[in-house]
Structure 1
Amino acid sequence: MPRALALLPLLALASAPALAGPPPKPWRSSAEVIAAAPAADWREPAPENLLVMELPQGRVLIELAPRFAPRHVANIRTLARAAYWDGLAVLRVQDNYVAQWGDPEAEKNPSGAKPLPPGLSKPGIEFAVPFKGLPLQALPDRDGWAPVQGFVDGFPMAADPKRNQAWLSHCYGMVGAGRDMAVDSSNGAELYAMIAPARGLDLNVPLVGRVLQGIELLSSLPRGGAALGFYEKPEQRTPITRVRLAADLPEAERPRVEVLRTDSPSWTALLQARRWREGWFVHSHGHVDLCSVSVPVRERGR
Structure 2
Amino acid sequence: MKHMLLAAAALSLAVPALAQDAAPAPSPGEIAAAAPASDWIAIAPSELLVMDLAPDAKGQARRIVIQLMPAPFSQGWIGNIRKLAAAHWWDGTSVNRVQDNYVAQWGDATEKKALPAGLATMPESEYVTPTRGTGGTNTSVTQDGRPLAMSWSGKSPGWSWIDADDAYSTKRSFFRGWAFVSVDGKIGWPVHCYGAVGVGRNMSPDTGSGAELYAVIGHAPRHLDRNIALVGRVISGIEYLSSLPRGTEALGFYKTEAERMPITSIRIADELAAADQPKFEYLSTDSDSFARYADARANRRDPFFITPAGGADICNIPVPVRQVAAK
Aligned to 1:59: 63
CA gap of 1:37–1:116, structure 2 versus 1, over 3 A, is same
Aligned to 2:234: 211
Aligned to 2:8: none
SS at match of 1:209: strand
Aligned to 2:281: 258
C-alpha separation between the residues in 1 aligned to 2:277 and 2:242?
A: 24
Aligned to 2:259: 236
**Unaligned ranges ≥5, structure 2:** 1-21, 57-61, 134-155
Q: Is the 8 A contact 1:141 1:289 kept in 2?
A: no
| RMSD between superposed Cα atoms in Å | 1.7
Aligned to 2:127: 127
Equivalent residues in 2 for 1:46-195, closer than 5 Å: 46-55=44-53, 56-57=55-56, 58-65=62-69, 66-106=71-111, 113-125=112-124, 126-132=126-132, 135-161=158-184, 164-195=186-217
Aligned to 2:35: 37
Q: Is the 8 A contact 1:78 1:120 kept in 2?
A: yes
Structure 1 stretches (4+) deviating beyond 4 angstroms?
none
What TM-score do you get using the length of structure 2 for normalisation? 0.79
C-alpha separation between the residues in 2 aligned to 1:202 and 1:274?
A: 23
C-alpha separation between the residues in 2 aligned to 1:75 and 1:273?
A: 38
SS at match of 2:31: helix
C-alpha separation between the residues in 2 aligned to 1:211 and 1:99?
A: 12
Aligned to 2:250: 227
SS at match of 2:29: helix
Deviations 1:208-229 (A, max 9, x none): 1111111121111111111001
Aligned to 1:198: 221
Q: Is the 8 A contact 2:43 2:279 kept in 1?
A: no
SS at match of 2:189: strand
SS at match of 1:115: coil
Aligned to 1:288: 312
Give the number of the structure whose alpha-carbon radius of gyration is greater. Answer: 2
Q: Is the 8 A contact 1:132 1:161 kept in 2?
A: no
Deviations 1:74-103 (A, max 9, x none): 000000010011110001011111110000
C-alpha separation between the residues in 2 aligned to 1:183 and 1:168?
A: 20
**Unaligned ranges ≥5, structure 1:** 1-23, 107-112
Q: CA offset at residue 140 of structure 1?
A: 2.0
C-alpha separation between the residues in 1 aligned to 2:120 and 2:206?
A: 12
Aligned to 1:109: none
Q: CA offset at residue 195 of structure 1?
A: 1.0
Q: Is the 8 A contact 2:45 2:279 kept in 1?
A: no
Deviations 1:91-149 (A, max 9, x none): 1011111110000011xxxxxx2211122222333211012156321222211110101
Q: Is the 8 A contact 1:59 1:214 kept in 2?
A: yes
2:88 partner letter:
A
1:132 partner letter:
R
2:128 partner letter:
A
SS at match of 1:291: helix
CA gap of 1:161–1:25, structure 2 versus 1, over 3 A, is farther
What TM-score do you get using the length of structure 1 for normalisation? 0.86
2:35 partner letter:
A
State the percentage of identical aligned residues. 45
C-alpha separation between the residues in 1 aligned to 2:214 and 2:95?
A: 9
SS at match of 1:40: helix
Q: Is the 8 A contact 2:181 2:189 kept in 1?
A: yes
2:249 partner letter:
A
Q: CA offset at residue 44 of structure 1?
A: 1.3
C-alpha separation between the residues in 2 aligned to 1:70 and 1:294?
A: 22
Deviations 1:24-45 (A, max 9, x none): 9652111211211111111111
